[in-house]
Amino acid sequence: MAMEAAAQSTLHIAIIPTPGLGHLIPLTELIKQLSRRHNFSFTFLVPTDGSSTESQTSLLQSLPASIAHAFLPPVDLSDIPAGSHLLIRVILTLTRSIPALRDSLTTLTGSTRLVALIFDVLGSPALDLAGEFRVPAYIFYTCSAMNLCSAFCLPKLDLMYSCEYRDLPEPVHFFPGCVPVQGVDMVDPVQDKKNEAYKRILDVAKQYHKAAGILVNSFLNLEPAPFEALMQNGDGIPPIYPVGPLVRTGLEHGLAGLGCCLRWLDKQPSGSVLFVSFGSGGTLSSDQLTELAFGLEISGQRFLWVVRNPNDMSLSAAYFDPQLCSDPLQFLPNGFLDRTGELGLVVPSWAPQVQILSHSSTGGFLTHCGWNSILESIVHGVPLIAWPLYAEQRMNSVEVTEDWKVALRVKPNEKGIVEREQIAGYVSRLIEGWEGKAMRERMKVLQGAAEAALGNDGSSSKSRNEIAHILMTEGKSHESLNKI
């Protein structure tokens, strides 16, 4: 396995993500910042199940020379039953990669001054590796502080309630001050206690206390109550470091689609375009895709829509392979592209999201409420239509709609379909209604708070510098222990 070794004089940190581009992107942003501002070198050790790694490879190859990467040997997941929850596949990819991780870390200790391991949100099953190599382990939490609150509360909730969370008559209060969450809006893997995914996520949560600290991709002024609850709660919660918002600052992976999107946006009035995208992993059913198309058409509003192949079996069918597509435009209603040609631009599979959200013509974002997309919206001041699909996205939608009040949340019918007339209404209300104007103003306030948090004296910059100082001082201490 080829690995670019850092100089022996440089403190080295190994980064262990779990599969999924949405997890890898914020991790790379964090490591780029640490690399620019502090004297560390890094190696990403990436577990894989053998599915396409094209997007991940492109992202990792774009990093500075001080940040190396290696893909671990693919693990065999052929024994996982068809239809198993996405989380099982993600966690098993990590846990079955532990022997290869151990070998890679052994190699690193022979060629670098390894002083710490950083795992992502689902990496806690491998935390014991840090003990083996006598270095501290940190969790980089790629979700919200509210989501982290729910993770620390989950073991207690498991003992408190025997019924399914979705059947609870009252909302769940994770910690005082946090916005209450209906059981049905808790993270997707906990919605069936008999499912293996529930046992896996419960085990992940129970191991968080082993971390030397948790770095959260959020900022104090965005989630003051959740952060206060986490930082002041001594019940086994490690030190918490808000370091966000960590969002993409450049192109996602390649130049495809950049020019046509920006040229089209340049011709549109300011704040007039709704950007429609369900992230790198989200998919809609065939019926829902049709309803969305007609809803956009009926609204009469300008839109830029990233269309992916529909999937009637899974809302996260593209999670492991964001490139998965044939010709998604063939699934649109007959004549749709001709009828909407004056108002809309439809692009297949991928578009430069950061550049679109930062464009002056973009006035709203219909999103699956992935945490990365929410943070990117905040950084660029764009209000939302919240359309959660899987994972923690329903909980995220509670924050953006009920806490921050910067989004409209869609309401599916009894068959789980958001109908075209409703979609048209949401779009019109956001782009040209008084609600959209009010949400836009509130989002601008959050945008300013995000900018302040990342400033030289901002709360997130201070947290990042603090953790870097700890890694340098404690890392050297752990290195000395290794020599005893």
The pLDDT tens digits of the residues spanning 380-402 come to: 999 999 999 999 999 999 999 99
Nearest to 367 by CA among 78, 22, 13, 28: 22
Residue 275 and residue 239 share a domain: no
Annotated active-site residue in 49, 85, 120, 478: 120
* Residues above pLDDT 90, as percent of the chain: 81
Beta bridge partners of 409: 386
Q: How many CA atoms lie within 13 A of 321 on its CB side?
A: 10
Residue 159 and residue 268 share a domain: no
Residue 256, C-beta contacts closer than 8 angstroms, at least 6 positions apart: 350
Annotated active-site residue in 12, 23, 69, 359: 23
In a domain, 202, yes or no: yes
- For the chain, the domain total comes to 2
pLDDT of residue 3: 44
Nearest to 290 by CA among 262, 326, 330: 330
Tell me the average pLDDT across 70-85: 93
Range(s) of the domain holding residue 327: 258-448
Please, which pLDDT band fits residue 148 given cuts at 50, 70 and 90?
Answer: very high
Please, which pLDDT band fits residue 9 given cuts at 50, 70 and 90?
Answer: low
Residue 311 and residue 430 share a domain: yes
Res. 22: pLDDT tops 60: yes
In a domain, 6, yes or no: no
Res. 232: pLDDT tops 60: yes
In a domain, 2, yes or no: no
pLDDT of residue 319: 57
Residue 346 and residue 228 share a domain: no
Residue 152 and residue 262 share a domain: no
pLDDT of residue 5: 40
pLDDT of residue 41: 94
What is the distance between the alpha carbons of residues 250 and 248, in angstroms, rounded to a whole number?
Answer: 6
In a domain, 201, yes or no: yes
What is the distance between the alpha carbons of residues 51 and 432, in angstroms, rounded to a whole number?
Answer: 43
Residue 302 and residue 173 share a domain: no
Find tokens 């948790």 and name the residue: 214
What is the distance between the alpha carbons of residues 302 and 341, in angstroms, rounded to a whole number?
Answer: 10
In a domain, 4, yes or no: no
In a domain, 5, yes or no: no
Residue 306 and residue 237 share a domain: no
Answer yes or no: 120 catalytic.
Answer: yes
- CATH for 109: 3.40.50.2000
Query: Between the CA of residue 111 and those of 11, 46, 105, 141, 367, what are the distances in Å?
Result: 11, 19, 10, 28, 44
Residue 422 and residue 367 share a domain: yes
Residue 213 and residue 101 share a domain: yes
Res. 254: pLDDT tops 50: no
How remote is the C-alpha of 352 from its chain's centroid?
A: 16
Please, which pLDDT band fits residue 466 given cuts at 50, 70 and 90?
Answer: very high
Residue 233 and residue 99 share a domain: yes
Residue 463 and residue 376 share a domain: no
How remote is the C-alpha of 310 from its chain's centroid?
A: 21
Tell me the average pLDDT across 165-172: 95
Answer yes or no: 76 catalytic.
Answer: no
DSSP 8-state code for residue 179 = P
Residue 461 and residue 428 share a domain: no
In a domain, 189, yes or no: yes
Tell me the average pLDDT across 61-86: 93
In a domain, 3, yes or no: no
Number of neighbours of residue 387 by Cβ within 10 angstroms: 25
Res. 131: pLDDT tops 50: yes
